[in-house]
């Protein structure tokens, strides 16, 4: 059975649209002063360029192979949990700051994507480690002030 090009490219097209919206959002970032090439938009732009490369590779592979995206093979439960956790994280981050919201978010993502039986001590340790690593990364290396607690 011959599969249409549009159907083969449905996922690359979807991710291209999302990436273009993300790239537009990057353009709205304004730090208020001239940061040079390595400013607030540098890493997001590099990320989008990398995503576009992966999209092109995926599109080429989709055309070469005779496979299409089938929605019936997707388990929407982890996707829904991840989406709800992300929205909740953004809300909690605004009100409670980084140190409260990030460990809760990391724990939710850990539970969402864990294939094995969930170990509570392992989930807690993972969330603390990831929170500490990203806090160090942003506050020390990137010199970005994070709202630590209660939106401060």
Residue 25: other Cβ atoms inside 10 A: 11
Q: What is the pTM of this model?
A: 0.55
Per-residue pLDDT at 133? 93
Among 111, 92, 110, CA closest to 102: 92
For the record, the structure tokens of 77 come out as 């439960």
**pLDDT over 70 at 140, yes or no:** yes
Higher pLDDT, residue 124 or 113: 124
Per-residue pLDDT at 30? 65
Residue 41: other Cβ atoms inside 10 A: 18
**pLDDT over 60 at 86, yes or no:** yes
């Amino acid at each position: 059975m011959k599969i249409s090009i549009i159907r083969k490219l449905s996922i690359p097209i979807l991710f291209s649209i999302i990436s273009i919206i993300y790239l537009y959002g990057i353009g709205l970032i304004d730090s208020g002063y001239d940061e040079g090439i390595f400013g607030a938009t540098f890493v997001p732009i590099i990320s989008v360029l990398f995503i576009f490369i992966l999209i092109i590779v995926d599109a080429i592979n989709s055309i070469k192979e005779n496979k299409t995206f089938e929605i019936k093979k997707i388990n929407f439960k982890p996707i829904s949990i991840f989406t709800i956790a992300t929205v909740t994280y953004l809300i909690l981050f605004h009100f409670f700051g980084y140190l409260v919201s990030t460990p809760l978010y990391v724990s939710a993502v850990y539970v969402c994507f864990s294939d094995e039986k969930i170990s509570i001590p392992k989930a807690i340790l993972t969330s603390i480690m990831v929170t500490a690593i990203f806090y160090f990364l942003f506050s020390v290396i990137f010199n970005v002030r994070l709202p630590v607690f209660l939106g401060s």
